[in-house]
Structure 1
Amino acid sequence: MRQQKSPPARASLRSHAAATVTSLTLRPLTSVIPANRPGILVARRIVATTLALTSPRLPGSRIVPVDRSTRRGPSVRGEWVRGPKARRNDAVILYIHGSGYAICSARTHRGITTRLSEATGLPVFACDYRLAPSHQFPAAADDVRAAYSWLLSEGHDPDRIVVAGDSAGGHLAVDLALQLLREGATPPAALVLLSPLVDPTLELARACAEVRPDPMAPMSVVERLLDLYFADADLAAPRLTFTFDDVSGFPPTLIQAGGREFLRGDAEALATALDVSGAHCELEVWPGQMHVFQALLRVVPEAVPALASASDFIVAELDAAERRSSFSVVESA
């Protein structure tokens, strides 16, 4: 197990400046974009351009597209990502992007995925699930499950897969692990969740926003995006509002959240629930940081050490899983 690192005691001056600029520019801009198809297309362009500037992929990284789309039902789409010096093939990271089930893609998150690959030495499969408003719940979750099943069919054992995700991708990652456990299937070796959505009713998020609004995401925008995906779904259902009473063996989990983001309460609630269930969980709350600050690599100094901490966790948990597997083989012999 890794020696757990702690976030800094206070935010850097550059991250404070980034938060101020974001609250004066991106926040008011996104608040006036309508939550319809033309508005979503505009939002996708804005976010893609912003992330290309603030979180570019590492030079020298290798990207291989994957498209096994079907006309109906779940599809496997995304891209294989390898950092410039990533050479390992003994395990894989399944990455699930966020942004309200409607905005981002594997491409927009190459800043994160190339750096996770480089730091761990592992290939990353970044999943492109179907997006709202064209596709509603449970389309995204079904595509994530299809991606996980595809990795198994490609020869990757569950204890050699780590699932990582940010924001809505964090919700999809937890859903995947719970569904596997409830079906009696083997879950991944570990989860890494960056600013995860946990409560789709947004009650926890509203409570955080009332105390201190997130510089990046107005609650009205978040609500409109989630409505596009969840539509008429029962938000109290176990698959959406998570419960852990009926499962055991939930994977070791690292949760990172920003100290001034709207999903801080979600992160803390999930960490508490996992602790109560007996699962191993590490929670890192980074002071003064915005939602998914790890994606702001050129403007927020804390993004780099946060991803380094996540990478250390991945390597440590894969090593621990390998030791457990070796011990089981010895015992059975």
Structure 2
Amino acid sequence: MQTMSPVTAPPVPARATRRTELTALTTRYGLGLVSGLIPMNAFGVAVARGLVAGIMAGLGSCPPGTRVITPRHSPVAGEWVLGPGVCVGRRVIYYVHGSAYVICSARTHRSLAARLSAVTGLPVFVVDYRLAPEHPFPAAADDVAAGFDWLLSDGRDAGDILVAGDSAGGHLICDLLLQRAARDETQPAAVALFSPLIDLSFVLAAEQERVRRDPAISAAAARRLVGLYIAQLPADHPRLRFDFTAADRLPPFLVQVGGVEMLVADARHLDHQIRTHDGNSTLEVWPGLMHVFQALPRLGPEADAALVRVRDFFTAAIGVAATEEATTEAKVVS
């Protein structure tokens, strides 16, 4: 990891600021209304992709000095995003973007990856998995697994890799880790998830919606989008509805979620399931903030503050992993 100037991670705020409340209100009467009107056909998907790409580009930017490298021999599409002064090395962050398996790409998440690289001092590989409806399940999940295996094939151990992702990317990451646990394979050092989608039936989201409406999208509209990926499969398919009884074989999780989004219910469910089954999870609910607020720094300072907390979480996880590795090696030598 590149040596970084020490920055104290700010605490999760106790309440929403006036600015975040106004942002949520504006979003509800803008994007929230539009998202419910977009049809779930080829035209609607194209509109949604263009709309979200424009929002991501307008509300986030890469730090000056960011480099983007497209690997030549990767079995899956993707790109290395390197913050200022960062080079590709042994320790890396593997990023899995979200947006319902349908909308986003490595390009839309380049700014978030660049800021994550800049704050951690680590290179970020963003996998550009195939999207639905052109490529339904299990295309995205297979690409995410292939991308992780490619990072391993370049001389890394699983413990050299830190994993991060948002929204549907959180679901894809859980699938990756649970599949590795089932095969008794080594896991990455740690995982940071932003607004993870876990329940593809959206029952949890709909229940949360009765408490408070998500300003960006309804549970029904999100369910229709995700339906383009799962196609005719039942939502309780074992790779779609997860069993976390093997959580003790998963890496430590940091789960960050906005307090006004419907997926706060999914985040709480994930955190509860991991901890119930002897896993390690830390949940942060950021008051007043929306879905994947970490990607939208121009809406408020919380986006960058959250990434500093991710950096500290990753740093601590790396330290624990190094200590455990040294202890194991000492036992072998003795």
TM-score normalised to structure 2 length: 0.94
- Name structure 1 gaps, 5 residues minimum: 70-74
- Residue of structure 2 equivalent to 1:208: 208
Contact persistence 2:247–2:274 (CA under 8 A): no
Contact residue 259 and residue 288 of structure 2 kept, 8 A: yes
Q: Structure 1 counterpart of 2:245, which letter?
A: D
Q: In the alignment, is the contact (CA less than 8 A) between 1:15 and 1:301 conserved in 2?
A: no
* 2:139 counterpart of 1:148: no
**Deviations 1:33-74, CA, capped at 9 Å, x for gaps:** 1111111111111111111110112221000123658xxxxx
SS in structure 1 of the partner of residue 109 of structure 2? helix
| 2:253 matches 1:253 | yes
Alpha-carbon separation, structure 2, partners of 1:248 and 1:49: 40
Task: Name 2:102's counterpart in structure 1.
Answer: 102
Provide the residue aligned with 2:124 in structure 1: 124
Assess if the C-alpha contact under 8 Å between 2:193 and 2:256 holds in 1: yes
1:319 equivalent to 2:324? Answer no
Q: Which amino acid aligns with 1:212?
A: R
Tell me the distance in 1 between the aligned counterparts of 2:317 and 2:54. Answer: 34
What displacement does 1:247 show? 5.6
The one-character-per-residue Cα deviations of 1:249-278 (angstroms, maximum 9, x if unpaired) are: 211000001111010011001101111111
> What number of residue pairs does the alignment pair up?
326
1:169 matched to 2:169: yes
* Other structure's SS at 1:66 match: coil
CA distance in 2, matches of 1:54, 1:41: 20
Counterpart Cα distance in 2 of 1:85 and 1:298: 23
Q: Does 1:309 align with 2:309?
A: yes
Q: In structure 1, how many angstroms separate the alpha carbons of the residues matched to 2:114 and 2:247?
A: 33
- Give 1:126's aligned amino acid: V
Shift of 1:327: 1.4
1:4–1:111 CA distance, 2 compared to 1 (3 A): closer
Secondary structure (helix, strand or coil) at the match of 1:15 reads helix
1:225 partner letter: L
The residue number in structure 2 matching 1:11 is 16
Runs of 4 or more consecutive aligned structure 1 residues displaced over 3 Å after TM superposition: 3-6, 66-69
Which residue pairs with 1:72 in the alignment? Answer: none
8 Å CA contact retained: 1:9, 1:287 = yes
Question: Does the 8 Å contact 2:79/2:127 carry over to 1?
Answer: yes
Whole-angstrom CA distance in 2 between matches of 1:328 and 1:4: 31
Helix, strand or coil for the counterpart of 1:257?
Answer: strand
Contact 2:60 2:298 in 1 (8 A): yes
Q: CA deviation at 1:31?
A: 1.5
Higher mean displacement: 183-192 or 82-91: 82-91
Residues 99-122 of structure 1 show CA distances to partners (whole Å, capped at 9, x for unaligned) of 000000111112211111111111
For residues 191-223 of structure 1, what are the alpha-carbon distances to aligned partners after superposition, in whole Å with 9 as ceiling and x for unaligned? 111000111111100011111111111223201
* Range moving further from structure 2, 314-323 or 239-248: 239-248
Give 1:48's aligned residue. Answer: 53
Deviates more, 1:257-266 or 1:309-318: 309-318
Counterpart amino acid of residue 52 in structure 1: A
**In percent, how many aligned pairs have the same letter?**
46
Say which SS state the counterpart of residue 324 (structure 2) adopts: helix
Alpha-carbon spacing, 1:6–1:276, altered in 2? closer, same or farther (3 Å): farther
Report the Cα offset of residue 88 of structure 1. 7.0
**TM-score, length-scaled by structure 1:** 0.94
Q: Are 1:63 and 2:54 an aligned pair? A: no
The answer (yes or no) to whether the contact 1:19–1:215 under 8 Å persists in 2 is yes
SS at match of 1:227: helix
Distance in 2 separating the partners of 1:66 and 1:225: 30
What's the offset of the Cα at 1:238? 2.5
Q: In 1, are the aligned partners of 2:9 and 2:312 still within 8 Å (CA)?
A: no
Of 237-246 and 310-319, the range deviating more from structure 2: 237-246
Give the counterpart letter for 1:9 in structure 2. Answer: A
Greater mean alpha carbon deviation, residues 60-69 or residues 269-278: 60-69
- Using the TM superposition, give the Cα deviation of residue 79 of structure 1 relative to its aligned residue in structure 2, in angstroms: 0.2
What is residue 294 of structure 1 aligned with on the other side? Answer: 294
- Which sits farther off after the overlay, 80-89 or 204-213? 80-89
Give the alignment's Cα RMSD to 1 decimal: 1.6
Aligned counterparts of 1:201 and 1:208: Cα–Cα separation in 2: 13
